[in-house]
Amino acid sequence: MNFREFKQAGHWPTLLAAFLYFDISFMVWVVLGPLALYITQELNLPIEDKFTIVAIPILTGAFSRLLLGALADHLGPKRTGQLAQLIVAGALAYAWLAGLHSKLEVEVFGIFLGIAGGSFAVALPQASRWYPPKYQGMVMGIAGAGNMGVVLDSLFVPWIAEHYGWQSVFGALLVPILIVFALYTLLAKDAPDRPAPVTLANYATVLKDADTWWFMFFYSITFGGFVGLGNALPLYFSTWYHVSGVTAGLMVALVVFAGSLFRPIGGMVADRIGGIRALQILFMIVSLSYLAISFLPQGAAPDAQVLAAAKVGGWGLWDMPGIAWFAVLLFFVGAMALGMGNGSVFQLVPLRFRKEIGVMSGLVGAAGGLGGFVLAKTMGWSKAATGDFALGFWIFSGLAIVGLVGMVRVKKRWRTTWGAVSGARV
């Protein structure tokens, strides 16, 4: 790829602003994942409620993507992004100053965090509209790589909670939120080819198209898998391998780093070989990874002295059993495929629905959020019902196979219809 030509093809300050906005918003959206170990311990919640707490922001984020996507078409992406950031900053300030003292308060707070998850439906179309079809995979991959925010959460949130208390995390997050808000205000610019405002009729029209539902399903597997794991894995590692809160965060950081780093690479690969071929390969890798993980045995528990060494005690990173390291490796491979799958899906979506990209970003993004909610809830349900997580991972592995079959079913029609006139390789 000619990067000089790519830089001149669109508006790179907006692409950078969209990345930063999505990055910090994603970080806020999934903050309850690494914090859940500390919050649920203090509130003394059972295992299924623990996974419910981390799943609520994912669910509300799915619906807020529809809302913010519609607002972006009426108010413009920049104004919508600014409004959403201010609302989220207000919720964080309240949680920091007033505190969260019950399960209900945490759940209500999780609803506000979902607004941060809706940033997807603003940031990606905002960047996409500046660039021609041949760069869509790359652009959507860069803007979507903002999901690297979950890596930052996993690295720093447990450490802050361990040393300063979990309520202080919300105050710490306000600093990057306000910095990014200022940068976004200075750098972001709405594209000149702003579409007409979205109406319910627009949603009805695209929902009548079978391709819409296919894209929603595919993204519920790839992005749903990524965000669901990002939120649920701290609880999984702590429960199944008995690691400390800080160690669980480091393990998750290693895993989700793969998904974040490889999202733009997935877009680039899809630009080169076609999103259809890329997704077929990636769905198979995802399925095999989930299947292998389902058979991993539980790790040995440490003694009481190790457990008492921290607020959320357990094995340290270099003391945990070897099977835990093998689990990290399998999750890393699976997350890499999920991240590349996200980039591949959004190489195809703008080619098929160029004029409806705002509506489709909202719908497809919402489906991704719903997929993440189902994954997190299913992991909690599996552990509560059977005593382990195997059944949940079997379900996810099967869904990836269904995605592969679906892709095989539609690929000929896509390549011979809209793909043939898209101006890019599908």
Classify residue 299: in a domain, yes or no: yes
Which tokens sit at 59?
């669910």
Those residues whose C-beta lies under 8 Å from the C-beta of residue 262, and which sit 6 or more positions away, are 336, 339, 340, 343
Nearest to 26 by CA among 164, 143, 187: 143
Confidence grade of residue 379 (pLDDT, cut at 50, 70, 90) = very high
Spatial separation of the C-alpha atoms in residues 173 and 157, rounded to whole Å: 9
Q: Is the pLDDT of residue 399 over 70?
A: yes
Classify residue 426: in a domain, yes or no: no
Residue 23 and residue 148 in contact, taking contact as beta carbons nearer than 8 Å = yes
Range of the domain at 57: 11-421
Classify residue 393: in a domain, yes or no: yes
Classify residue 1: in a domain, yes or no: no
CATH number at 337 reads 1.20.1250.20
Q: What is the pLDDT of residue 353?
A: 87
Q: What is the pLDDT of residue 199?
A: 73
Number of domains composing the chain: 1
The whole-model pTM stands at 0.86
**What is the torsional sign of CA 178, 53, 388, 281?**
negative
Spatial separation of the C-alpha atoms in residues 259 and 303, rounded to whole Å: 34
User: Of the ranges 64-68, 183-187, 193-197, 419-423, which is most confident?
Assistant: 183-187
pLDDT in tens, 64-112: 988 888 888 788 889 999 999 999 999 999 999 998 989 999 999 999 9
Higher pLDDT, 94 or 257: 94
Q: Is the pLDDT of residue 4 over 70?
A: no
pLDDT in tens, 147-179: 677 788 888 999 999 999 999 999 999 999 999
Residue 263 and residue 139 in contact, taking contact as beta carbons nearer than 8 Å = no
User: Of the ranges 212-216, 270-274, 415-419, which is most confident?
Assistant: 212-216
Classify residue 4: in a domain, yes or no: no
Classify residue 394: in a domain, yes or no: yes
Classify residue 6: in a domain, yes or no: no
Average pLDDT over residues 387-401: 96
Outline where 242-356 has alpha helix (H).
245-273, 275-294, 304-307, 322-352
Q: What is the pLDDT of residue 314?
A: 92
Phi, psi of 315 (to 5 degrees): -60, 145
